[in-house]
């Protein structure tokens, strides 16, 4: 008997600001650019891709492409998406990171 599986969709769990913050912090801690883009994409999907794209000043299609596994968003796209999601990047010395 073969077990059927479906891909896990984290967007259903991204319902609070705290969950979004923790999810994104983990992606940034790992430092993998693809993971960060995918995490931002999942958060954008949870918030509404059309709304986020409009607020970020890019097309919905460009947002999907930038925040996919094969995407490599420009810094301006990254910052625009972060702002559209009501988030900001904060820099702290690595030795202070918890």
2 falls within a domain: no
Residues 26-59 pLDDT 10s: 999 888 889 999 999 999 999 999 999 999 999 9
48 phi-psi bin (left φ>0, alpha ψ -120 to 50, beta other) = left
Total Cβ atoms within 10 A of residue 27: 20
11 falls within a domain: no
Q: What pTM was estimated for this model as a whole?
A: 0.85
**23: buried, middle or exposed (CB in 10 Å: 19+, 13-18, 0-12)?**
middle
Is a pLDDT exceeding 80 seen at residue 97?
A: no
How many domains does the chain contain in total? 1
What is the C-alpha to C-alpha distance for residues 81 and 52, in angstroms, rounded to an integer? Answer: 7
1 falls within a domain: no
61 falls within a domain: yes
Which DSSP symbol is given to 30?
A: H
């Amino acid at each position: 008997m073969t077990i059927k599986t479906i891909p896990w969709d984290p967007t259903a769990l991204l319902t609070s600001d705290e969950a979004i913050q923790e999810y994104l912090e983990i992606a940034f801690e790992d430092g993998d650019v693809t993971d960060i883009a995918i995490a931002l994409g999942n958060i954008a999907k949870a918030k509404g891709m059309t709304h986020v794209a409009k607020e970020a000043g890019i097309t919905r299609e460009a947002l999907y492409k930038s925040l996919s596994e094969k995407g490599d968003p420009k810094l301006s796209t990254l910052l625009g998406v972060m702002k559209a999601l009501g988030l900001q990047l904060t820099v702290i010395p690595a030795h202070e990171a918890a």
